[in-house]
A = this chain, B = another copy of it.
């Protein structure tokens, strides 16, 4: 396996992992998670995780962006993969940083495609998928703090025209808090 040592490559300003065997510089950059708050009739689309971390807890359709796609395309792909939902992106709802794990989350507000009727089905990474009114959201079974941040941003925006993108809440400006109750799994993506 790769045999990394910490070195500052020529022309760089930061130490990086360089493989002593093959010379490869493993630049570690923040990763982008793209996802959506998909709404219809005042309800939001949520997915119960079929995978670790936080298996069994509820999240939004979201995941790591891939090369060659736009942020909007990535969010639409994740909604299809995780929730079988064809969505129409409205705009950016929030941009959140989870500095503790080197992650940036770009979360959109979206509606269902076609005539807007909710059509969805659990994908392989979801145990189940459902639409929830605000008061019916399973608040004690939310997978990650950033899911709550995105839901709060949705509640603030409602169905009005999108305003300024939300950022991290005041009690976690850098995304450094560890995970949510009732479990202490490691936060890794939405």
Q: Contact: B95 with A106, CB < 8 Å?
A: yes
> How many subunits of this chain does the assembly comprise?
2
Q: Contact: A2 with B14, CB < 8 Å?
A: no
Is A117 on the interface with B (CB-CB < 8 A)? Answer: no
Known: A2-B22, A19-B22, A72-B97. A164 touches B102 (CB 8 A): no
Q: Which of A36-44, A61-69, A132-140, A179-187 contacts B (4 or more CB under 8 A)?
A: A61-69
Is A118 on the interface with B (CB-CB < 8 A)? Answer: no
Rounded to whole angstroms, the CA-CA distance of A165 and B22 in the bound complex is 43
Contact with B along A92-118 (1 / 0, CB 8 A): 100101010010101000000000000
- For A92, give its contact among B3, B28, B29, B167 (CB under 8 Å): B167
Q: Which residues of B contact A68 (CB under 8 A)?
A: 99, 102
- Residues of A bordering B, CB below 8 Å: 1-3, 14, 19, 21-24, 26, 28-32, 64-73, 91-92, 95, 97, 99, 102, 104, 106, 161-165, 167-168, 173-175
